[in-house]
Structure formats: structure tokens, C-alpha cells
Structure 1
Amino acid sequence: MSAVDLRAGVGPRALERLESEISIWLTTVSPGGRPQPTPVWFLWTGQELLVLSQPSARKLRNIAAGARVAVNFNFGGDGNDVQVLSGTARVDESGLSAAERTAYDTKYASGYRELQMSADAFHEEYSTLIRIGPERLTGWR
């Protein structure tokens, strides 16, 4: 289980979205202190979020300068159904495990087709793995 309690408050809704949403907003902070939100694909493992990145992406430089990040989902036009997870990100040089790769490829098979890329081509281009350990959940419904 994650360090965040997903059983109470907005936790069940956050868990539902972690298991079903296609993308999230990952907010890193530049070395100069500027928040930089970026939409990303992700995989929820039950303990952490996995995000793949191109090796030259700004978010990696930001994480190297400061590991504190936030992730949030899109929300409806009425301003409700908001969940924000904050935590610590780290680059994992070992990459996805075989099981994580299978789960990621299953989740994003249609996304690869939309990009006109094979899974192998995607993983070659997005070869850097970020692991995010959520530590706090805030939100409202």
C-alpha cells in the first residue's frame, strides 16, 4: 500500500482514478522555483506512480534539482472532483520491471497506435523511468 491512505475521505475516488485514468498532470519545480505542470502517461503500481520520460525532458532536470512533485487529475468544469497527490520523485536507472512493462504496454496499446509507434519504439524514445512515491493526498468532491 502507498504511504497515502486511500481508504478515507477523497482517497477512494483518487484510487479509482489512479486505476482508470489515462493521463495526469505532473508538476515539477524548476531550479529557479517555477512550477512546471506537464501532462504525462502513468502507471499506478499500488504503491507508486511510474512515469516514462524522454531523457532530455525538462522535468528530469527539475527532479534532479528538487525531488518534491505533485500530480493531479483533470477535473470537471464545475471545479469539483479534485485530488492532488504530492510526494517525492526519483529517476530509476534500472527501468521498468518485466511485469511493469507488460502492464504499461497493456494500458497504452491504443495510445501507441495513435502515435503510430510500436511499444518498442515508444520505450526507446521514452526510456527514462520516474518513480513517484505519494506522501500526501488533498482534494474535494
Structure 2
Amino acid sequence: MRTDLPPLPAPVRDRAVLPEGYGLPDDDEGLLEWSEVEARLVAAKHYWLGSVRPDGRPHAVPRWGVWVDGRFWYDGSPETRHARNAERRPAVTLTLESGSQAVIVEGDSYATRADAAELGARLSAAFGKYRDDGYAPDADAWSGDDGGGLRVITPRRVLAWFAFPHDVTRFRW
């Protein structure tokens, strides 16, 4: 279980590298700002999580979660396929639903926990976006020794575009 999560530095932004023929601009004009991309990660209600099974086959599953403090936090049973996959191979992808307004997060997923008075309170407030859907965890939901099934994805790379190919942008940490 990872609990030592230092603040992330600001990401380095540049033009993504794609094969010739995709029409990417030759300069940095039109690159997205991290604040624009992060706002979509915060506002989204539905995410897709991709992981790798022990035999190497891919696994994708829709997830609810929250983007708080520069990371994606989600919870559920440690017995789910995606949690077991991430325990074995932490490298995962997280995407939003749209293919034309794309945000693709590549990072590492680890089990963790959250103190109710600090991070737990921020997570509980952020999970409020699911209240009308019947899910509203309290701030202490993730404070036990087992973390209440809480997992966190720390981003390593994000690829995003809202007007392909003009604004295709890569962020790296």
C-alpha cells in the first residue's frame, strides 16, 4: 500500500509525436494548457480504466472516481479484476469517454488510504458528484488499515486533444 504521495510538479508540455500523415503542426502553436485538460478530468463522471491481465491480455472497465491533487482516486473491492491486475502490474491507462475530446492518462495505480480529516475530506467532497447516483462516501471511508479499497493513479504521461490534429498535446511528469 502506497501512502507516501508527494505533491506532483507541474507537467512538461510539448507536441505529441505521431507518424507522418496525421497533420500535426510543426510548431507549438495551439498546444493545450494543463489547466484545460485537468478541468475535464475533474468534471468527468465516467472514466475508462485499462489494465493488463496476468496472461498479457488487456482489460478495460468503466469506473467512477475523482481527480484530486493531480491524481485519480477510485475505490472498490481489491478482488475486482482491475485491482488484481494493477497489484501485479501497476501500469494502467485512464481515459474519458469522448474520442473527439480525448484525454488519455498513462500512470501507475496503487492501493492507498486517506486520513478522514485531510485527504479523506477532500475526496468525500469530490465524490459528491455521484450523490444523485446513490454514491456518497464519508470522509472516513478510506481511513482504515485496508484503505477501504481506495486506489490512486499517479500520472506519468497524458495525451490530449479537443480539436485533432491542431491541439494534440503531450504532458509528462
Normalised by the length of structure 1, the TM-score is 0.77
Contact kept? 2:47, 2:65, Cα under 8 Å: yes
Aligned partner of 1:103 in structure 2 is: 125
Q: Give distance in 2, aligned partners of 1:21 and 1:137.
A: 16
Look up the equivalent residue of 2:78 and give its one-letter code. Answer: P
Q: Give distance in 2, aligned partners of 1:67 and 1:3.
A: 21
Q: Give distance in 2, aligned partners of 1:105 and 1:43.
A: 6
Matched, 1:5 2:11: yes
Quickly say closer, same or farther: Cα 1:118–1:25, change in 2 above 3 A: closer
Contact kept? 2:45, 2:64, Cα under 8 Å: yes
Look up the equivalent residue of 1:106 and give its one-letter code. Answer: G
Contact kept? 1:4, 1:137, Cα under 8 Å: no
The offset of 1:29, in angstroms, is: 0.8
Residues 58-104 of structure 1 deviation map (CA, whole Å, 9 limit, x = unaligned): 111101110000100011xxx42111010111011x34643134224
Matched, 1:53 2:72: no
Q: Which has the higher helix share?
A: 1
Larger Rg: 2
Q: Give distance in 2, aligned partners of 1:4 and 1:39.
A: 28
Gaps of 5+ in 1: none
Gaps of 5+ in 2: 1-6, 15-30, 143-147, 163-173
Contact kept? 1:24, 1:39, Cα under 8 Å: yes
Aligned partner of 2:106 in structure 1 is: 86
Matched, 1:16 2:22: no
Quickly say closer, same or farther: Cα 1:7–1:42, change in 2 above 3 A: farther
Percent of residue pairs bearing the same amino acid type: 23
DSSP-derived class of the 1:53 partner: coil
Quickly say closer, same or farther: Cα 1:6–1:103, change in 2 above 3 A: farther
Q: Which has the higher strand share?
A: 1
Q: Give distance in 1, aligned partners of 2:44 and 2:53.
A: 26
Q: Give distance in 1, aligned partners of 2:71 and 2:111.
A: 13
Contact kept? 1:51, 1:131, Cα under 8 Å: yes
Contact kept? 2:124, 2:137, Cα under 8 Å: no
